[in-house]
Each structure stands twice: as C-alpha cells, then as structure tokens.
Chains A and B, each alone.
Chain A
C-alpha cells in the first residue's frame, strides 16, 4: 500500500488514485488534493482536464510540466475547505523545494461543480484575511455593549 502523496493518511488507491484515473472527485477538497497529487506524479493531463472551460486555454502546460519536474514536492496542507452547492473554496499551503530553496505556495482556490465534476476556476495567491471592519459608534447611539444606555453615558463616557 502506498500512502497518498496528498498527505491524507489514506492509501493512494483509496484517495487520489481513482480521481486521477477519471472518477469524479466527491468534493472540491478531494479535487484540489488530486491536482496536487497529479503534480507530484507528473500527471499533467489530470490538471489540464480539471480546469474550468474559461481558463483552459490560459493553461501554460509547458511551464506546468517544467514546474512538476523541477520541484521537490514535500507536503500539502489544506487550511480550510467550504462548499455551498456547486461552489467550493479550498485554501491550501504547498511546501516544496526548488533550486535548493524551501518554498511555500499559499492559495485560496475557487472551484465549481459542472455536470457532477468539480473544476478549478481561479485562485488567489497569498490571500488576505477577511477585511476587518471598523464601525464608528455615534455618541448618541445605543452602546454596543448591550446595556441599553447611550454610548456617551456608557462605554464611551
């Protein structure tokens, strides 16, 4: 039994293996993991066919093959994965070595399910956290602490 390169602690045959062989990925996260595994195994056909149609022609296959070849893939970390119907988001961190340097790729990927197949749509590299919102409380508004008093006579005094 070979353990799956995607670091799922499962065997390749029970994890990314069938997806690379063409079975539909059960979730956006499973698809993302299988695309990482495809890079590790130099199976760029899988990466190419799991792109959403609108970005398929933008895929620089030649460069992807070079990257697969030159990188020593060390570890995949899925930081967060959410799904809402046919829309999915997976935030991940890939640890690898290239040209003798330890590198990390941090991305928040957007996925979409089409005809039962999950596809990669886009990614934000080094994503920013949710924007922090600062709300100014007026002096005469109810105090945000919930006391029922005006802000100016409560916490804002």
Chain B
C-alpha cells in the first residue's frame, strides 16, 4: 500500500521547536528566538552517513565515533504555537515560510528512502492519510521533491560552517563532549542546546550585531511570558540569559 498524505491545516505541527536552515534562521531572525540544537547520531544509525555530510564527526571519550548535527532552531516550548500561526490555523507568512515548514512531513536530515514513518500522523495530529489523499511517497522516493531537495541543498551548503562551530564549542566548552557521550549512550538519544551568541562569535558573522538587535526584543518578551510558569523554568532561564547576551552583542562597538 502506497502512503497517502494531505495536510488539513490542523496547526498541530506548528508548535514548539522548529529546526531551520542557517539561511532561514538569518532571514527570520526578527521573528523566531534562535538557539543551536545538537543531536548526536550514532554510527549504527540509518542516517549516520548522511549526518557525517551534514554535520561534524566527533570521537567520544569512549572511542566511539558519532556524527553531530547542529540545527539553528526556532526555540519555543512544545506548548507554544509558532508566532506566525494565525487564529484560523493558517500560516501568516505562507509565501515566504521556512524550508522546514515547506518540506513537512518529510525530513531531509534523513535519507530519502527512510521517510515512510514520517507520513504516519503523530498523536493528536489531524493529517489526512485516507484514500482521498494523494500518494506522496512511492518506492521509497518522494514524488514532489522540490522542497525536500532545496532544504537538503541548504543543509549541505551550510555544513562547513556547522563543523567550524562544533570545533569551536568542543575547544572552549570541552565538557560538551561528555554531554554528547551521555546522550549517544541512551537509546532515546537527546539534545543539547547552545546559545546563538556562541555561534555568532565562532563563525565571525559580520552581521552579528544586527542579528542580536533583532533577537533581543524576542528574548525579552519570551523571558517575560515564561516568568511565572513552573513548567517552563528552564526556558525562562535560557531566554533571560540570552536576552542579556543579545543586548550585550547589539551594544558592541
């Protein structure tokens, strides 16, 4: 049976973390609060080879090798809707929404032939997978592949920058390696989050000051919004700290 899929605009996938290509993160810096999300990919994982091309290969203290993916991410709590999700559940920036949103439900951090499970709606999602929906994936190939290819292309293009960043963090925050090892040892994996300020410093972005100026008000607003929510204590601490960092970067001569 060939998988069928059609989006019903239920808005459920427009919540929480949104991994962006670097290009999209920069283009939407005035819209999304950004952080860098790390994912170790074990060498026995299906997507390992691809991950070595999209990210950095790192040797852990236990001598195992993992591929590390770093995604610039619109960093929102899972319960928070995308700031551009309208009241009618449609996208407020449909014409220039990020690649990640366009490619859904496919995911170019994984091989094209390994996408079938992504077409199964997650709990609570109202994707149409009935006979009324069109076939979108056949013989392990994506039928309309333009968005997938564009996002994959951007990821390949940014890979050298991401490697520079991984090397920088492992040099100046060497304990990150132990955190990666712990996550890689768990069957469920895990993520690590680092700041945009470290990325801007490591990659010497000439537009760092402007990006920080765009980010600062977003971080302040989210710090305020998460202030009294006991479930979001960690988010609140992150936003408050990053707000200070963005203020400081934006002030730099």
Contacts and interface: CB of A to CB of B under 8 A. Distances in A.
Contacts of B168: 58
B172 A58 contact: yes
B174 A125 contact: yes
Interface string A66-82: 10011000000000000
Q: Which of A57, A58, A99 has the most chain B CB atoms closer than 10 A to its own CB?
A: A58
Secondary structure class of chain B's binding surface, majority of residues: helix
A124 B248 CA distance: 27
For chain A, give the interface size range: 10 to 19
Contacts of A125: 174-175
Contacts of A124: 174
Interface residues of B, number: 20
B244 A66 contact: yes
B175 A61 contact: no
Contact of A66 (B175, B201, B245): B245
Contacts of B14: none
A61 B252 contact: yes
B33 to A, nearest CB: 15
Given A57-B204, A125-B174, A125-B175, A62 B245 contact: yes
Interface of A: 57-63, 65-66, 69-70, 99, 124-126
Given A60-B198, A61-B248, A126-B175, 5 more contacts: A58-B172, A58-B202, A60-B172, A65-B244, A65-B248
Interface of B: 168, 171-172, 174-175, 195, 197-198, 201-202, 204, 212, 237, 241, 244-246, 248-249, 252
